[in-house]
Amino acid sequence: MTIPISGARVLLTGASGGIGDAIARELHGRGATVVVSGRRAELLDALREELGPRIECAPADLAKAKEVDGLVAAAGAVDVLVANAGLPASGPYDGFTVDEIDRALMVNLRAPIQLTRALAPAMVGRGKGQLVYISSISGKIATSGASLYSATKFGLRGYAFGVGRDLTGSGVGASCVFPGFISDAGMFADTGLETPPGIGTSKPEEVVAAVVKAIERGPSEIDVAPAFVRASAKLSGIAPNLVAGISTRLGGEKFAGEFGKRQQDKQ
């Protein structure tokens, strides 16, 4: 259940900045035709002008159901879906408006589900394809100040694994990538914060490499984080309160509060 990147047609959401831009460049450089999607059409156009052929622009706001449908039509017959778009949804459980909750659920969870429903059957009909979902370590470790974000990312993890089981034997695979804090690009980098002691960061290139691995080799899950964070993610599955306690002692609650404040304008 893998597919060569060269010659593949890829739909990449969340391509108008941060890690999405890096993923688009790598896949294009490896010979794929990349349909880049995001809310900021001008950045997508700039990417197409810079990279030239094999970049197609399909602007869409995934918080709007009609635009998700329009994106499916614009993407056409894709071989690979990389569902990378996401909102930070950071803050305490009672710190969101109804619209902010709905928007986070739409972008982080509903859109990948709807895109899969619309695109995967044709992949199955052709007997090949790969679905790649960008979740987060917060989809394995729930902390204070990130309940809504974790809900969407835990949900995406469950969906990716279930879809993978549904597709067993079809020639189409499903992989989920779990980045931790990423330096230089993306949500965390935008805040200008430093991680709590001992946590550390990974580079955007590591996320890009995980996406390439997901497409070419098809593992069900790939963690992109320093060793301590990866170990914590595994431990959280059997002892979540223990991991939460360790996070608190490392200053995780204070960090989460400041992170949420700095992401408030991106909800």
| The pLDDT value given to residue 252 | 58
**Nearest one of 111, 118, 70, 123 to 87, comparing CA atoms:** 111
CATH topology of domain 9-266: Rossmann fold (3.40.50)
Nearest to 218 by CA among 165, 180, 178, 172: 172
> Is 255 a residue whose pLDDT tops 70?
no
Average model confidence (pLDDT) across the chain? 88
In this structure, of 121-130, 179-188, 226-235, the range with the lowest mean pLDDT score is: 179-188
- pLDDT category of residue 102 using cuts at 50, 70 and 90: very high
Measure the CA–CA gap between 68 and 65, rounded to whole angstroms: 5
Question: Per residue in 114-137, pLDDT tens?
Answer: 999 999 999 999 999 999 999 999
Active-site entry in 93, 133, 149, 159:
149
What DSSP designation does 63 have?
T
pLDDT of residue 182: 77
Helix, strand, coil content of the chain in percent (nearest 5): 50, 15, 35
pLDDT at residue 234 in the model: 86
DSSP code for 39: S
Choice between 17 and 139, residue whose per-residue pLDDT is larger: 139
pLDDT digits over 103-112, tens only? Answer: 999 999 999 9
pLDDT at 187: 62
Looking at per-residue pLDDT, the higher value among 83 and 89 belongs to 83
Q: Is there a catalytic annotation at residue 149?
A: yes
CA 29-71-131 angle, to 5 degrees, is 55
Taking the chain, what is the end-to-end CA distance rounded to the nearest angstrom? 36
Per-range mean pLDDT, top range of 66-75, 187-196, 199-208, 256-265: 66-75
% pLDDT > 70, the chain? 86
pLDDT band at 155 (very low <50, low <70, confident <90, very high): very high
Please state, in angstroms and rounded to a whole number, the distance separating the CA atoms of residues 47 and 30: 16
- Does 226 or 184 have the greater pLDDT score? 226
**pLDDT tens digits, residue range 32-80?**
999 999 999 999 999 999 998 999 999 999 999 999 999 999 999 999 9
